[in-house]
Structure 1
Amino acid sequence: MGDWTLLHWLTLMERELLLFAGVFFLIGALDELLVDGLFGWLKLSGRAKRLVVDREDLRCRHLAGTVAVFIPAWREDRVIGHTIAHALRAWPQAEYVIYVGIYRNDPATLEAAMRGAGTDRRVRLVVHDCDGPSTKADCLNRLYRALEVDEARRGQPARLILLHDAEDMVDAAELALIDRAVDHAEFVQIPVLPLPQPQSRWIGSHYCEEFAEAHGKTMVVRNWLGTCLPAAGVGCAIERGMLHRLAQQMGSADAGSPSPGPFSVESLTEDYEIGMRVHALGGRSRFLRVHGDDGSLIATRAFFPARLDQAVRQKARWVHGIALQGWDRLGWGTGSGSAAGSRPVAGMGRLLEGWMRLRDRRGPFAALVLACGYSFFALTALFLLLDFGGLSRPWQADPLLTFLVSANLAAFIWRAAWRFAFTAREHGWAEGVRAVLRIPVANVIAIMAGRRALADYWRQLRGGRLHWHKTLHDRHPAAALETAEIPLAPAHWHSGVMPGREFAA
Structure 2
Amino acid sequence: MSIYDWSLWQWLGMLQHELLLFAGVFFLIGAIDDFAIDLAWLWLRVTGRLSTPRIRRGDWQRRELHGSTAIFVPAWQEADVISETISHLLSAWPQDRLRLYVGVYRNDLATMEAAMRGAPGDPRLRVVLHDRMGPSTKADCLNRLFAAMREDEQRSGCSFASVVFHDAEDLVDPAALGLLDSAIDHGADFAQLPVEPLPQGARRWLGSHYCEEFAEAHGKAMAVRDALGASLPAAGVGCAVRREMLDRLAKLRGDALPFASDSLTEDYELGLAIGAIGGTCRFVRARGEDDLLVATRAFFPARIDHVVRQKTRWVHGIALQGWDRTGWSGGAIERWMRARDRRGPLTALVLLMGYSLLAITIVLTAAVAAGWAQPIALPPLLAALLIANLGFFGWRTLCRFAFTARNYGVREGVMAVLRIPVTNVIAIMAGRRALIAYARTLAGRAVSWDKTPHDRHPARFDSEAARPAAMSLGALSR
Question: 1:301-450, aligned counterparts within 5 Å?
Answer: 301-334=297-330, 350-393=331-374, 395-450=376-431
Which residue does the alignment assign to 2:103? 101
Letter in 1 for 2:264: L
After TM superposition, give the deviation of residue 454 of structure 1 in Å. 0.5
CA distance in 2, matches of 1:269, 1:495: 32
| CA pair 108-45 structure 1, distance change in 2 beyond 3 A | same
After TM superposition, give the deviation of residue 199 of structure 1 in Å. 2.0
> Among residues 236, 245, 252, which one is paired with 2:248 in the alignment?
245
1:285 maps to 2:281 = yes
1:271 maps to 2:267 = yes
Tell me the percent identity: 56
After TM superposition, give the deviation of residue 490 of structure 1 in Å. 7.4
After TM superposition, give the deviation of residue 395 of structure 1 in Å. 2.8
Tell whether the 8 Å contact from 1:171 to 1:495 is kept in structure 2 after alignment: no
> Among residues 476, 483, 486, which one is paired with 2:465 in the alignment?
486
Secondary structure of the 2:101 match is strand
In structure 2, list runs of 5 or more residues that go unmatched: none
Tell whether the 8 Å contact from 2:234 to 2:270 is kept in structure 1 after alignment: yes
CA distance in 2, matches of 1:146, 1:463: 31
CA distance in 1, matches of 2:332, 2:80: 45
1:233 maps to 2:214 = no
After TM superposition, give the deviation of residue 8 of structure 1 in Å. 1.4
CA distance in 1, matches of 2:151, 2:373: 76
Which residue does the alignment assign to 2:198? 195
Tell whether the 8 Å contact from 2:458 to 2:473 is kept in structure 1 after alignment: no
Secondary structure of the 1:29 match is helix
After TM superposition, give the deviation of residue 3 of structure 1 in Å. 1.1
Tell whether the 8 Å contact from 1:64 to 1:179 is kept in structure 2 after alignment: yes
Tell whether the 8 Å contact from 1:65 to 1:159 is kept in structure 2 after alignment: yes
Tell whether the 8 Å contact from 2:411 to 2:468 is kept in structure 1 after alignment: no
Segments of 4+ in structure 1 off by > 3 A? 488-499
After TM superposition, give the deviation of residue 460 of structure 1 in Å. 1.0
CA distance in 2, matches of 1:199, 1:391: 44
| CA pair 444-13 structure 1, distance change in 2 beyond 3 A | same
CA distance in 2, matches of 1:490, 1:179: 28
After TM superposition, give the deviation of residue 498 of structure 1 in Å. 4.6
Task: Give per-residue Cα distances to partners, 1:109-153, cap 9 Å, x unaligned.
Answer: 011111112111111000101110000000000000000011111
Question: 1:219-230, aligned counterparts within 5 Å?
Answer: 219-230=222-233
After TM superposition, give the deviation of residue 467 of structure 1 in Å. 2.8
CA distance in 2, matches of 1:322, 1:67: 28
TM-score, structure 1 normalization: 0.92
Question: 1:446-465, aligned counterparts within 5 Å?
Answer: 446-465=427-446
After TM superposition, give the deviation of residue 53 of structure 1 in Å. 1.5
Letter in 1 for 2:465: I
In structure 1, list runs of 5 or more residues that go unmatched: 255-259, 335-349, 500-505
Tell whether the 8 Å contact from 1:159 to 1:239 is kept in structure 2 after alignment: yes
| CA pair 398-495 structure 1, distance change in 2 beyond 3 A | farther
| CA pair 13-51 structure 1, distance change in 2 beyond 3 A | same
Task: Give per-residue Cα distances to partners, 1:38-62, cap 9 Å, x unaligned.
Answer: 1001111111122111211000111
Secondary structure of the 1:238 match is strand
CA distance in 2, matches of 1:467, 1:111: 24
Letter in 1 for 2:194: P
CA distance in 1, matches of 2:314, 2:112: 28
Which residue does the alignment assign to 1:339? none
| CA pair 261-391 structure 1, distance change in 2 beyond 3 A | same
Tell whether the 8 Å contact from 1:386 to 1:392 is kept in structure 2 after alignment: yes
Tell whether the 8 Å contact from 2:9 to 2:373 is kept in structure 1 after alignment: no
CA distance in 1, matches of 2:369, 2:305: 38
Letter in 2 for 1:431: E
CA distance in 1, matches of 2:130, 2:224: 39
| CA pair 393-304 structure 1, distance change in 2 beyond 3 A | farther
| CA pair 393-164 structure 1, distance change in 2 beyond 3 A | farther
Which deviates further from its counterpart, 215-224 or 288-297?
288-297
| CA pair 393-444 structure 1, distance change in 2 beyond 3 A | farther
Letter in 2 for 1:154: S
Secondary structure of the 2:36 match is helix
- Give the number of equivalent residue pairs: 475
Letter in 2 for 1:224: A
Letter in 2 for 1:447: I
After TM superposition, give the deviation of residue 393 of structure 1 in Å. 4.1
Tell whether the 8 Å contact from 2:197 to 2:298 is kept in structure 1 after alignment: yes
Secondary structure of the 1:329 match is helix
| CA pair 394-474 structure 1, distance change in 2 beyond 3 A | same
Letter in 2 for 1:186: D
Which residue does the alignment assign to 1:48? 50
Tell whether the 8 Å contact from 1:193 to 1:301 is kept in structure 2 after alignment: yes
Tell whether the 8 Å contact from 1:294 to 1:490 is kept in structure 2 after alignment: no
CA distance in 2, matches of 1:193, 1:488: 12
TM-score, structure 2 normalization: 0.97
Aligned CA RMSD, in angstroms, stands at: 1.4
Which residue does the alignment assign to 1:346? none
Secondary structure of the 2:323 match is helix
Question: 1:139-218, aligned counterparts within 5 Å?
Answer: 139-183=141-185, 184-218=187-221
Secondary structure of the 1:127 match is strand
Letter in 1 for 2:181: D
Secondary structure of the 1:203 match is helix
Secondary structure of the 2:4 match is coil
After TM superposition, give the deviation of residue 388 of structure 1 in Å. 2.6
Task: Give per-residue Cα distances to partners, 1:430-463, cap 9 Å, x unaligned.
Answer: 0000000000100000000000000111111111
Tell whether the 8 Å contact from 2:73 to 2:102 is kept in structure 1 after alignment: yes
